[in-house]
Structure 1
Amino acid sequence: MNFFIKLQDKISEFKLQINYMKKFPKIVFIGSTNFSLFSLKELYMKQYNIVGVITSPDNPIHKNEKYFSPVKKYALENNIPFLQPGNLLDDTFLKNLKAWNADIQIVVSFKILPKKVWDLPKMGSFNLHASLLPQYRGAAPINWVIINGENKTGLTTFFIEEKIDSGKILFQKEIEIGKEETAGELEYKLKKMSGSMIIKTLEKIMKKQIKPIDQKNINSLKYAPKISTKNCRIQWDDPSIESIYNKIRGLSPHPAAWTLLFFHKKKFVRFKIFVVKKILKKHSIPIGLIFNISSSEMRISVKEGFISIIEGQIEGKKRMNIKNLINGIKIRKNLFVR
């Protein structure tokens, strides 16, 4: 009999904990991308009290069609209130945000927040960043760690402060980067880790079991600025084949490294390159010449050897594997890139 009474007490206690969790803390989730969505789903499925979501405005695709962010789609499907401010300092937006009376705000993959937004909750606002801060502060850490040939990266949660990505660190988790890993593959690995990282951080903040740590002052900081189209062009005369190889995989699949391919009718077309292998070999072939083109291979000459294309996309066509791509090229002699 005592056993059943104790069991009922435990069940009641557990139910009270769940109900408490649903009420406290009141969370505002801020994010827009597919990367953000992993964390939002984790919070929702574990029944945390998400009082609202802030996401980006809809983008028009065609005249009568708009693009919703993945976060907005999820909010609509699960009846979570949301705001889509065009201006984060707009009075109406700030009034609606204050009305949610959040205890804490969680930010994953969103633009820079003004102090009037991140300073609202009494428990603060924390961000999840896809690098091991203080290294790779900025908009594109996943791309730049691969472009720069790093062998490790990770996730960092930190309290948001005035300076971008410079707030006190809450948690970090490190992972290795595979030697052939692309930015897309690395992003997926980090996305799968992100939800549990958010939950762990939130739990420790709630229980006051966390001591935020100042970011270290390092002289040789590496940054991760936004990737531009100009950044993505391949420099075939780079003396390091490793540098060319890292750039291609660090930009794959999006926004994708590109070059100009001398095509038929004596014109250049843009050629995106997604997957390659590097071949180290001494040779005297001019740099940028497409060499040894066959039914299943297309090598581009570089200083230390060859870059062999595995997947690419010629302007006006779909992304293809090398066999299909070559089948679409009628002229196979005197081809080169620049």
Structure 2
Amino acid sequence: MDPKQLRIVFMGTPEFAVPSLRALVDGGYNVVAVVTAPDKPAGRGQKLRESEVKVAAREAGIPVLQPEKLRAPEFVEAMRALRPDLGIVIAFRMLPETIWAMPRFGTFNLHASLLPRYRGAAPINRAVMNGDAETGVTTFLLNHEIDKGAILGQIRVPILPEDTAGSVYERLMHVGTSLVTETVDRIASGEAVPVTQCDEPADSLRAAAPKIFREDCRIDWRAEGVRIVNLVRGLAPAPSAWSRLCRDGEEGIDVKVHAARFLAAERDEVLPEAGTVESDLRTSVQVVCGDGRVALEELQLAGKRRMTVEELLRGFRDIAACRFE
């Protein structure tokens, strides 16, 4: 079958899904509708904001569905009326079976990891936080379990030492477009061979990628420096690693750490207590960790803008009298 004749329903909401939608449209594929999240109030004025996918769909002249509830009878009927051959999901809500099983060729998802690694909501963050040297994108058929359907295709992508979650996100967002169109082509030609996923060991750091909460982002200065720097990289640019900067007898202030590097301790060096701040008060702020020091490069005090260490020290001359906790 000609892949350009498949009636495709595309489901997604954030920026990550937009390049793939545009690649389908620009490639001449028949996207008959887009399903995305309802408009939501945002900003100080609480004006309704459209999702990035809705904006892209409107620009391409594609009809948009924005169901509040995916099981609502009116949405199910609207989907049936589209007579979909194939569903494509990228960064969207969990679908009920009535929706994902409706297209005659099923529904596939683009996931930002090399499944079965990092099933869950934060695969890119977790891969960088864990210091992985490689990640990638996977297309897989939806089934009853989250991120456990049969794999249709994968592309591997290196994680560079200087990468952050933000830079990996950008890379995977664009790499994913070729995998999406390739997967559509193979499904249409009958060449797609779904491969059942094997489970990662239950105790593996890479078995799951759960949602990240505030306490997951707090730096433990007793940890090894490489782990701390990986945490910073994996949470940059958002939600950001953080710590509390305190002076004796005071409550302290929360500080986001946006960039840092590790300096290993000298052999046989006796280190001060973890969290101790060392600074030349001009260009350098270092924090003692479990096996050396973490040199801070970019930070953000609560209520302030992001700044370099040099900018911080121009107005914070007594930082060496503080410690991170």
TM-score (norm 1): 0.89
Does the alignment pair 1:246 with 2:227?
Answer: no
1:52 to 22, 25, 33: 33
Contact 1:263 1:269 in 2 (8 A): no
**2-side partners of 1:164 and 1:109: how far apart?**
13
**2-side partners of 1:259 and 1:129: how far apart?**
31
1:230 to 200, 210, 215: 215
Q: How much has 1:263 moved relative to structure 2?
A: 6.2
Is the alpha carbon distance of 1:330 and 1:319 closer, same or farther for their aligned partners in structure 2, counting shifts above 3 Å?
same
- In the alignment, what sits opposite 2:7? 26
**2-side partners of 1:81 and 1:89: how far apart?**
20
**1-side partners of 2:148 and 2:3: how far apart?**
30
Larger deviation: 109-118 or 277-286? 277-286
Residue deviations 1:155-176 (CA, integer Å, cap 9, x gap)? 1111101111111110111122
- In the alignment, what sits opposite 1:164? 146
- Percent of pairs identical after alignment? 34
- In the alignment, what sits opposite 1:3? none
1:194 to 158, 176, 185: 176
Larger deviation: 119-128 or 142-151? 142-151
Contact 2:11 2:87 in 1 (8 A): yes
Q: Following superposition of structure 1 onto structure 2, how do residues 261-276 of structure 1 map, counting pairs within 5 Å?
A: 261-262=245-246, 266-276=250-260
Residue deviations 1:122-148 (CA, integer Å, cap 9, x gap)? 010000111111111111110111111
Residue deviations 1:20-47 (CA, integer Å, cap 9, x gap)? 665x101111111111111111111112
Contact 1:259 1:271 in 2 (8 A): yes
**2-side partners of 1:37 and 1:263: how far apart?**
46
- In the alignment, what sits opposite 2:50? 68
**1-side partners of 2:38 and 2:181: how far apart?**
27
- In the alignment, what sits opposite 1:277? 261
Residue deviations 1:110-133 (CA, integer Å, cap 9, x gap)? 121111111110010000111111
TM-score (norm 2): 0.93
**2-side partners of 1:319 and 1:153: how far apart?**
29
Residue deviations 1:274-327 (CA, integer Å, cap 9, x gap)? 111110013422211211242221111112111111111111111122222222
Contact 1:248 1:274 in 2 (8 A): yes
**1-side partners of 2:80 and 2:294: how far apart?**
55
**2-side partners of 1:64 and 1:134: how far apart?**
39
Residue deviations 1:224-269 (CA, integer Å, cap 9, x gap)? 001111211111122x222111111111111111111226993412
**2-side partners of 1:152 and 1:75: how far apart?**
32
Letter in 1 for 2:246: F
Q: How much has 1:57 moved relative to structure 2?
A: 1.7
Is the alpha carbon distance of 1:323 and 1:215 closer, same or farther for their aligned partners in structure 2, counting shifts above 3 Å?
same
Q: Aligned residues, how many?
A: 318
**1-side partners of 2:130 and 2:49: how far apart?**
33
Letter in 2 for 1:306: R
Larger deviation: 171-180 or 126-135? 171-180
**2-side partners of 1:147 and 1:202: how far apart?**
32
Contact 1:103 1:123 in 2 (8 A): yes
Higher Rg: 1
Contact 2:149 2:197 in 1 (8 A): yes
2:89 to 102, 107, 120: 107
What SS is found at the alignment partner of 1:333? helix
- In the alignment, what sits opposite 1:322? 309
- In the alignment, what sits opposite 1:207? 189
What SS is found at the alignment partner of 1:105? strand
**1-side partners of 2:200 and 2:175: how far apart?**
26
**Runs of 4+, deviation exceeding 6 Å:** none
Residue deviations 1:34-70 (CA, integer Å, cap 9, x gap)? 1111111111111211111111122211345122211
Is the alpha carbon distance of 1:292 and 1:271 closer, same or farther for their aligned partners in structure 2, counting shifts above 3 Å?
same
**2-side partners of 1:325 and 1:114: how far apart?**
50
Contact 1:283 1:305 in 2 (8 A): no
Is the alpha carbon distance of 1:287 and 1:58 closer, same or farther for their aligned partners in structure 2, counting shifts above 3 Å?
same
The alignment's C-alpha RMSD in Å is 1.8
- In the alignment, what sits opposite 2:290? 303
Q: How much has 1:219 moved relative to structure 2?
A: 2.8
**2-side partners of 1:299 and 1:129: how far apart?**
37
Larger deviation: 119-128 or 286-295? 286-295
What SS is found at the alignment partner of 1:266? coil
Is the alpha carbon distance of 1:145 and 1:95 closer, same or farther for their aligned partners in structure 2, counting shifts above 3 Å?
same
Is the alpha carbon distance of 1:64 and 1:254 closer, same or farther for their aligned partners in structure 2, counting shifts above 3 Å?
closer
Is the alpha carbon distance of 1:291 and 1:206 closer, same or farther for their aligned partners in structure 2, counting shifts above 3 Å?
same
- In the alignment, what sits opposite 1:12? none
